[in-house]
Amino acid sequence: MIALFTDFGVEGPYVGQVKAVLLGMAPGVPVVDLMADAPACDPRRAGYLLAALAPEMPAGAVLLCVVDPGVGTQRTPMVAEMDGRLLVGPDNGLFKPLSRRASVTRFWEITWRPQRLSASFHGRDLFAPVAARLASGMVPEAAGCRPYIPGARPDWPDDLAEIVYVDRFGNAMSGLRAAALAPRARLLAGGRELPRARTFGDVPAGEAFWYENSCGLAEVAVNGGSAARVLALDVGAPVTVA
């Protein structure tokens, strides 16, 4: 399969144009909308979401990942292989949290260029054709890539103590892996100290808490309510261990 991870949103033509390229070049390969509303123009926070979601994809999947505020500049387009999955996107840190957690990694620079390359839409013109070729069975070298060493990003932590995503229910995902926290850890978010619970129904209605969400991240929630509204949380809000 090809899984799309982008900040394009569902409105407008962008996701549709990318899918048209993928389906035209790799007919019969399923295309999955993994995420279309990653933090906009924010590869750092999006990277911690990608690191939580990518391991759920089956081995052999190709992930087309575009959160690319530097599109059209000198940033390097790349392919990464991590634990049997191939990722296609820009070398701007988006893959860095995942690469630190993977046991096997390899990287390539995309040197191939299409006849038409929009300065502002490499997702459609550059990354999608490469992803389609890889999903059709090409190895990276045959798809127009050469071995590469990506940027280090030493100042990026292994876990990000911030809110990285707020869903439509008002639940606020952090960049902290729940498995890295003590079983009875309490988190500070929105000016409150929050206890850990297993799930929503384990706390009274209206109570704020944190829990390990379905992709392994520490998520702040309110039973029957919106943590974003009750605690005034948005992407970038700090979350710390009490």
pLDDT value, residue 201 = 97
Task: Give me the phi and psi of 174, to 5 degrees please.
Answer: -100, 170
Strand order in the sheet with 192-194: 192-194, 187-189, 240-241
pLDDT value, residue 241 = 95
Show me where the domains of the chain are located.
2-147, 160-241
pLDDT tens for the chain, 242 residues: list them: 999 999 999 999 999 999 999 999 999 999 999 999 999 999 999 999 999 999 999 999 999 999 999 999 999 999 999 999 999 999 999 999 999 999 999 999 999 999 999 999 999 999 999 999 999 999 999 999 999 999 999 999 999 999 999 999 999 999 999 999 999 999 999 999 999 999 999 999 999 999 999 999 999 999 999 999 999 999 999 999 99
pLDDT value, residue 37 = 97
Check: CB of residue 194 under 8 Å from CB of residue 210.
yes
Residue that is written with structure tokens 């590869």 in the block: 43
Cα angle 144, 16, 45 (rounded to 5 degrees) comes to 75
Q: What distance in Å separates the CA atoms of residue 63 and residue 4, rounded to the nearest whole number?
A: 6
pLDDT value, residue 183 = 93
- 146 strand-pairing partners: 109
**Which CATH code is given to the segment(s) 2-147?**
3.40.50.10790
Strands 217-222 and 172-177 come out as antiparallel
Residue that is written with structure tokens 């279309």 in the block: 36
Question: Strand, helix or coil at 101?
Answer: helix
The domain 160-241 having CATH identifier 1.20.1050.10: the answer here is no
Supply the pTM of this predicted model: 0.96
Quickly count: other Cβ atoms within 10 Å of residue 124's Cβ: 24
Kindly report, residue by residue over 22-48, the tens digit of the pLDDT.
999 999 999 999 999 999 999 999 999
Strands 77-82 and 85-90 come out as antiparallel
Q: What distance in Å separates the CA atoms of residue 179 and residue 227, rounded to the nearest whole number?
A: 22
Quickly count: other Cβ atoms within 10 Å of residue 5's Cβ: 24
With CA atoms as reference, report the closest residue to 125 among 111, 115, 134, 139: 115
Check: CB of residue 181 under 8 Å from CB of residue 241.
yes
Phi-psi map region of 232: left, alpha, beta (phi>0 left; psi -120 to 50 alpha): left
